Amino acid sequence: MMKSNKKAFNAGFVLFFLPVFLWLFLLVVLPHLELLRLSFSGSGRAGDTGFTLKNYAAFFKEPIYWLTFVRTAMYSILVTILVIAIALPVAFYITKLARVKTVGFLMIMLMVPFWVSELIRVYGWIILLRESGVLNKLFVSIGLFKEPIELLYNDATMIMGLVYTSMLFMIVPVIGVMEDLDDSLIEAAYDLGASRIAIWRTIIIPHCMPGIVSGGIIVFMLVLGSYLTPNLMGGKNSLWFTEQIYNQIILYFNWNQGAAFGFLLLVLSSLIIWVLLKLTRQSLKEVVK
């Protein structure tokens, strides 16, 4: 009986594990291994073959490449900070202040925009902010502007779009940890005369730190690797590092250089996350729990 149960367990494990393994290996691991090989290979032009490091060296030799990465990383950190600042009060209201009957409705309202693709959401912002868009018509009609102005294609608009497209990935982890916060701790702090800022600083934020860090990692990586929002809302002047990767692979057909830039993006972003974990004194094991 025990042997038959064990065989059934093994068969069920293989049945469910095999599709996951094949999906990860064929669609994630194998393409990345091929890109890694290409990043250390020559382009094949004019006898340029074999192992080489010049694809990676080009990143440091050309200022446009590493300056674009620095710019992308700094804006990604800024977007992550803004998302945290917005997500904390929203999560607090949903978990601690909203009525039980309205919590489900509020969660649905948060998730509904993410039921459509990022491209549709970005085009929604373009319809609102373009010169012939809804906001410009409204401002002109009420006399705020004499004529329509260009609200798109600048860094501020790009940051707003990135905050909007990544907000849910911060709110959900924060809500998950904030639900476990004992309300009596907050009530006791109020009774003892603590200010709201002190309560947030000493009780709420420390308790929510694992959710903040895990959500921050997700948001930072998504924003750093974003392409549609910076390209469509930022315009030509808002350089983003993923655009450099796109240009190398699609425009210049230089897969070797593009693969090297892709792995540099992965390594450097992982290094930034490691530094942030050290600064926040969080371990990766605590964050992924």
What backbone phi and psi angles, to 5 degrees, belong to 73? -65, -40
Residue 18 banded pLDDT, cuts 50, 70, 90: confident
pLDDT of residue 7: 60
- What pTM was computed for the model? 0.86
Q: Please state the rounded mean pLDDT for residues 26-43.
A: 86
How would you class 170 by CB atoms within 10 Å of its CB: exposed for 0-12, middle for 13-18, buried for 19 or more? buried
Give percent of the chain with pLDDT exceeding 70.
Answer: 90
CA 15 vs CA 8, 18, 218: distances in Å: 10, 6, 30
Q: Please state the rounded mean pLDDT for residues 195-223.
A: 90
Domains in the chain, CATH or no CATH each:
63-288 (1.10.3720.10)
78-105 as b/e, with b when 16 or more CB fall inside 10 Å?
A: ebbebbbeebbebbbebbeeeeeeeeee
Segment 79-89, tens digit of pLDDT = 999 999 999 99
User: What does DSSP assign to residue 41?
Assistant: B
CA–CA distance, 160 with 243 (Å, rounded to integer) = 19
Alpha helices (runs of H) in 25-167, residue ranges in sequence order? 30-39, 54-61, 63-92, 100-111, 118-129, 134-141, 155-166
Please state the length of the chain: 289
Segment 93-115, tens digit of pLDDT = 999 888 888 888 888 888 888 88
How would you class 149 by CB atoms within 10 Å of its CB: exposed for 0-12, middle for 13-18, buried for 19 or more? exposed
Task: Name the residue among 183, 210, 191 with its Cα closest to residue 281.
Answer: 210
Task: Name the residue among 84, 212, 96, 223 with its Cα closest to residue 161.
Answer: 223
pLDDT of residue 162: 93
Which is higher by pLDDT, 100 or 65?
Answer: 65
Name which of 43-52, 170-179, 206-215 the model is least confident about.
43-52
pLDDT of residue 87: 94
Give percent of the chain with pLDDT exceeding 90.
Answer: 25
User: Among 42-46, 54-58, 71-75, which range has the highest average pLDDT?
Assistant: 71-75
What backbone phi and psi angles, to 5 degrees, belong to 157? -65, -40
CA–CA distance, 208 with 196 (Å, rounded to integer) = 16
Task: Name the residue among 272, 228, 237, 230 with its Cα closest to residue 117.
Answer: 228
Whether 116 shows a pLDDT value over 70: the answer reads: yes
Whether 3 shows a pLDDT value over 70: the answer reads: no
CA–CA distance, 170 with 65 (Å, rounded to integer) = 29
